[in-house]
Amino acid sequence: MDCCGGTTEHEDDCGEVKVKDSIDAKTVEAAKALESENYSAGFSTTIETDFAPKGLSEDTIRYISAAKNEPEWLLEWRLKAYERWLTMEEPSWAMVRYPKIDYQGYYYYAAPKAGAKYASIDDVPKEILETYEKLGIPLREAEVLLGVEGAVETAAEGREKPRVAVDAVFDSVSVATTFRKELQKAGVIFMSISEAVHEYPDLVKKYLGTVVPQSDNFFATLNSAVFSDGTFVYIPKGVRCPMELSTYFRMNAENTGQFERTLIIADEAAYVSYLEGCTAPMRDENQLHAAVVELVALEDAEIKYSTVQNWWPGDEDGKGGIFNFVTKRGDCRGDRSKISWTQVETGSAVTWKYPSCILRGDDSVGEFYSIAVTNGRQQADTGTKMIHLGKRTKSRIISKGISAGKSDNTYRGLVSVNRKAVNARNFTQCDSLLIGDKCGAHTIPYVENRCASAQLEHEATTTKLSEDQLFYARQRGIAEEDAVALLVNGFVRDVLQHLPMEFAVEAQSLLKVSLEGSVG
Amino acid sequence: MRPMLKITDLSAAVGEDSEAKTILNGLSLDVPAGEVHAIMGPNGAGKSTLSYVLTGRSGYEVTGGSATLNGENVLDMDPETRAAKGMFLSFQYPVEIPGVPVMTFVRTAMNAQRKARGEDEISAPDFIKKSRDVAKTLNLDAEMLKRPVNVGFSGGEKKRLEIYQMMMLEPKFLILDETDSGLDIDALKTVADGVNAMRDPSRGMLVITHYQRLLDYIKPDKVHVLAKGRIIKTGEADLALRLEKEGYDGVLGEAA
C-alpha cells in the first residue's frame, strides 16, 4: 500500500478507518506523551524525505535547482550568490554567542517524498495529516493544504469569518495553498515561490533580490544560493486582498537548514495583511534557519506583515534549539506607501533579526512593533532599521523585550535620515522587562541624521518585574504564573493591539507558555 | 464560638538569616465573625508586618505561633489560596500595574478565586453590572475602571480602588492597612461608607490605623494597641479616643 508514503508501521490503519477519528486518537496520544514538556509544538513526523547531498557546494545548488526544475536564469542567480558567499564572513557584531556552525554538516534541501499533490485524502501520508492536526489545522483545511481535489470549495464554505488563506510550508516544499481560486478571482497571486518562478517568471525576476540584494549579508547571501521554497504574493493595482494570508512554516526533517524565501508585492493602492506563524519539532542538534523576506509596496499600497515565532528554543541547559538568522526588509517604493511589521518572538535558541523599512517614497510610513521574549538560555538580538529617504517620511518603533531565566535580550535599531528626507519623523520606544536577576536586557539604538528638519524621538525604559506587583496580584487571588502572564501581557499591550485578532489570542497564550517556570 | 481569625503567639522576622530582625513577637488576637477590630500603634510597632504575614507576602519568616481563618492554618498557604479562602488586604500603598485595565484585573482575580473554590466563572454581563453598581456607590468614574490599575491615579483614587476591589471580590475577612492615609475628608467618608456597607454578621475586619480619625467613621467593636510586636492593650472604641488624647507613650507607660 502506497497510501502511507511507503512506511510500514501504519499500514493497517490505511483501510476503512475514518481519517479524522484516527487522527484525533493519535493526537491525544501525542499530547499525552508531551504533557511533561513545556514545548507544545515539539513533535516530529516520520515520513521519507528526498535530501540534497549533505553539505554546500556548487553541486548542491545544481541539485536544488534541478529538483525544482528551475529556469537557467535562476540557477545562475543562485550560483552567483554562492560565489559571493564564499568570500564573506559570518557576522560577529550581534550580542549572541553560539558554537561555530559547520555549514558542510547540513542538508540544504529536503522534500516530502510522496510528492506535493494528492488525488484524494487516502493518498496523503497519515503522518503529514497528523502533523497538521497537532498544529491545530482542521482536517478539511488540511485536505486543502495538501491539495486534495475538490476540497477547496467545501472548506471555504465551512470556514468561519474572518477567513485566513494558508500556504503551508512542510519542510521546504510548499505542499499546497488554500483559497487559491477565490484569490484568483480578485487577481491576487498567492503561491509557493517555486511555482511562481514557473507561472509568473517576469514578476519574480523583476522583484527578486531588489529589496535584499544577493550580496546584502552573509545569511541573506547564503539564502540566495540555496533557498528551497517560500511564498510569493502579488496584489494587483487597487486590490484589497479579501482575506488574511497566512503561512505556517515548519521544520521537520532532521538536520535540514531552512532557507525560506518570501516575496510580497503590493502594487499601487493595494493592501494585504500577511501572517507568518512558526512552530518546529524538538531537536537535539542545532538547526540553522536563514530566511529572507522581501516586501515591495508601490504608490499608496500598504503591507502589514505579522509574525508569531515559536521555534524550539533548546532545553534548559541551552542544548539544541533553532538558530534564527533572518533578513526581513520592506521597501516603500511608492509615495504614500506603508509597511508595518509586527512580531512576537518567543522561540529559537539564537535570534538575529531586524525587519526593516526603506522609506523611499515621499510621505511613506514604516512601522515596527515587536515583542521579544527570552527565557532559559535563549539569546535574541533583534530590532529594526528605518531608512528615511523620501520627504515627510514617518516611522514608528515600539519594542518590548522580556528577559527571564539566564537569557539575553538585545534591541538593536537604526534610524537613518537622508539629507533629502525633509520633515522626516521618527518615534522610538524601547521597553525592557527583566524577570529574575540572572538575565540581561540591552538597548542599542543608532541614529544617523543628515537632515535639519527631521524630528526624532527616543524613549527607553528598563524595569524589573516587581515583587510588589506580583504580590498585589496574588493577594487578589491570581496564581503566580497567571500573575506573571497578566503583568507581561500588560507590559506588551500596546504591541499586541497591532496583531490581527486571532494572532493576538495565540500570542497571549504563547507568552504564558514561554515564561513558565521563570519565577519562583 | 470559635473566632473567625485566631492569631496565637505569632512571631515573625523580616530579612535574611543573620540580618533577620524580629518584628512580631508573640502576638495573640481573636476576631470573631461580624466584628470590626482596630489595631493602633506607633510607627515601627509591626502593624504592616502583621498584615503582610497574614496575607503571605514573601520576605517575612514566621518563627513561631499560628494564625487560622475559620479553623484553617493560613500561614502554610500561598497568597492566592488565602485570597480564595476570603482574605483580603487593602494596601497602604496600592501598586501600579501598567497595561492591565482595572476591569480585566478584577475579573481575572474574581474568576481565579471562583475557580479555586470550584465555582463557575462570572459571566461578562453579570460582572459589568456588578462593577457598575459598586462604582456608583464609591463615586468612581466608569472611565477610571478602563484605565490600567492605579497608573496615574491620585492617592484618594487608589484607596477608593482598593475598596472597589473589596466590594467586587466580597471577601470574608478584610484587613485595611492605613486606608485613611492620604485621604481628604470627603474621600475618607466615601471609603468609610464602602467599608461600612461590607459589615456583615458573617464577615470579620481588621482595621489598621495610626490615627483615630478613621474610627470616627468606621466604629470598631474592639481596639487593640500594638507595640514592640505584640498586643499590649485591648479596649472598647473609647480606647482610640484616649490614645488620641494621651498619646501612645501615655497609654504604653501605663501598660508597662
For A327-369, the pLDDT digits (tens) are 999 999 999 999 999 999 888 888 999 999 999 999 999 999 9
pLDDT in tens, A377-436: 889 999 999 999 999 999 999 999 999 988 999 999 999 999 999 999 999 999 999 998
The average pLDDT across A285-296 equals 85
Non-local CB neighbours of A8 within 8 Å, separated by 6+ positions: none
Q: For residue A371, with 0-12 CB atoms within 10 Å meaning exposed, 13-18 middle and 19 or more buried, which class applies?
A: buried
DSSP codes, A334-352: STT-EEEEEEEE---SEEE
- As a whole number, mean pLDDT of residues B175-187 equals 88
Q: Which amino acid is at A261?
A: R
| Cβ contact A443:A411 at 8 Å | yes
Which cell is A417 given? 535620515
Would you identify the CATH topology of the domain B5-95+171-255?
Answer: Rossmann fold (3.40.50)
CA A260 to chain centroid, in Å, comes to: 9
Interface test with B, best of A471, A475, A519 (most B CBs within 10 A): A475
**Burial annotation A113-122 (CB, 10 A radius, 16+ → b, else e):** ebebebeebe
Kindly state the percentage of chain B with pLDDT values over 70: 98
Residues 6+ apart with CB under 8 A from B201: B33, B34
Per-residue pLDDT at A360: 97
Q: Phi and psi for A338 in degrees, rounded to 5?
A: -145, 135
Grid cell listed for A240: 484589497
Identify the three-state secondary structure at position B188. Answer: helix
Of B84, B96, B100, the CB nearest to A477: B84
CB A494 to CB B88 under 8 A? no
CB-CB neighbours of A29 under 10 Å = 11
* Choice between A11 and A416, residue whose per-residue pLDDT is larger: A416
CA distance B10 to A514: 40
pLDDT for position A17: 32
Cα A196 from Cα A355, distance rounded (Å): 24
Q: Is the pLDDT of residue A131 over 90?
A: no
pLDDT at A520: 54
pLDDT, tens digit (0-9, with 9 covering 90-100), for A70-109: 999 999 999 999 999 999 999 888 888 888 888 888 878 7
Q: Are B65 and B8 in contact (CB under 8 A)?
A: yes
Please report the pLDDT score of residue A231 as a whole number: 87
Check pLDDT > 60 for residue B168: yes
| Banded model confidence at residue A185, pLDDT cuts 50, 70, 90 | confident
Domain ranges in chain B are: 5-95+171-255
Block residue for cell numbers 480606647: B239
HSE-CB of A4 using CA atoms within 13 angstroms: 13
Residue A158, pLDDT above cutoff 50: no
Q: Are strands A350-353 and A302-310 parallel, antiparallel or unpaired?
A: unpaired
Q: Specify the range with the lowest mean pLDDT, choosing from A106-115, A241-250, A271-280, A393-402.
A: A106-115
HEC readout, A231-273? EEEEECCCCECCCEEEEEEECCCCCECECEEEEEEECCCCEEE
Model pLDDT for residues A420-452, shown as the tens digit of each residue: 999 999 999 999 999 988 999 999 999 999 999
Lowest mean pLDDT, pick from A9-13, A454-458, B41-45, B175-179: A9-13
**Contact residues, chain B, for A493 at CB < 8 Å:** 99-100
Interfacial residues of A (vs B; Cβ cutoff 8 Å): 466-469, 471-480, 482-483, 486-487, 489-494
A472 with B58: Cβ contact below 8 A: no
Using DSSP, state whether A85 is helix, strand or coil.
Answer: helix
Q: What is the dihedral of CA A500, A506, A510, A511, to 10 degrees?
A: 50
Which residues in chain B touch residue A467, judged by CB atoms under 8 angstroms apart?
Answer: 58-59
Band of pLDDT at residue A58, cut at 50, 70 and 90:
very high
ipTM value for the complex: 0.96
Closest of A322, A325, A430, A383 to residue A90, by C-alpha: A325
**Residue B5, C-alpha cell as written in the block:** 481569625
Residue B1: which pLDDT band, with cuts at 50, 70 and 90?
low
Determine whether the interchain pair B78/A492 forms a contact, defined as Cβ–Cβ distance below 8 Å: no
Label residue A176 exposed, middle or buried (CB < 10 Å: 0-12, 13-18, 19+).
buried
Q: Within 10 A of B18 (CB to CB), how many other CB atoms are there? A: 5
Is the CB of residue A416 less than 8 Å from the CB of residue A384? Answer: no
CA distance A214 to chain B (A): 42
- Chain A residues near residue B56 by CB distance under 8 angstroms: 474-475
* Candidates A469, A478, A494; nearest CB to B109: A478
Whether this prediction's pTM lies above 0.90 is answered by no
> In the predicted model, is pLDDT for residue A110 greater than 80?
no
| % of chain A beyond a pLDDT of 70 | 71
Cβ neighbour number for residue A59 with a 10 Å cutoff: 11
How confident is residue B82, by pLDDT bands cut at 50, 70 and 90? Answer: very high
Using DSSP, how many helices (H) and how many strands (E) does chain A show?
A: 14, 24
Contact B179, B209 (CB under 8 A): yes
Is B95 close to A469, i.e. CB distance below 8 A? yes
